[in-house]
Amino acid sequence: MDKTLGYLRETLSNYTGEHDSQGRHLYRKLTEGQFHTEEMFVRHLSSEEIEFLNKILPDEINYANEEKDHKRAKELNEVYELLL
């Protein structure tokens, strides 16, 4: 798994609670799938999965920037740009 997907996996782990079924689903999909790049992962997303990521990633990117974790922000932004 590449670095970008590692950051995404870590982010999705925050959305695996009992009320976050879409987050749990995406986390499982990412960890159990054989995705070598973020492009491969994004190509296998449904419109609902894309909608979920489009909803959470801007906040996660902003949070990373506020915490001065520019590497995380950059990696998550790479995924976000592929969704658009």
- Give this prediction's pTM: 0.91
Q: What is the pLDDT of residue 84?
A: 86
User: What's the pLDDT tens digit per position in 59-75?
Assistant: 999 999 999 999 999 99
Q: How far apart (Å, rounded) are the C-alpha atoms in residues 73 and 77?
A: 6
Distance from C-alpha of 12 to C-alpha of 46, rounded to nearest angstrom: 16
For residues 13 and 20, what is the distance between their CA atoms, to the nearest angstrom?
A: 10
Query: What residues have CB less than 8 Å from 15, skipping those under 6 apart?
Result: 22, 23, 24, 26, 27, 56
What does the pLDDT look like over 28-40, one tens digit per residue? 999 999 999 999 9
**Res 1 pLDDT > 80:** no
- The C-alpha atoms of residue 38 and residue 42 are separated, in whole angstroms, by 6
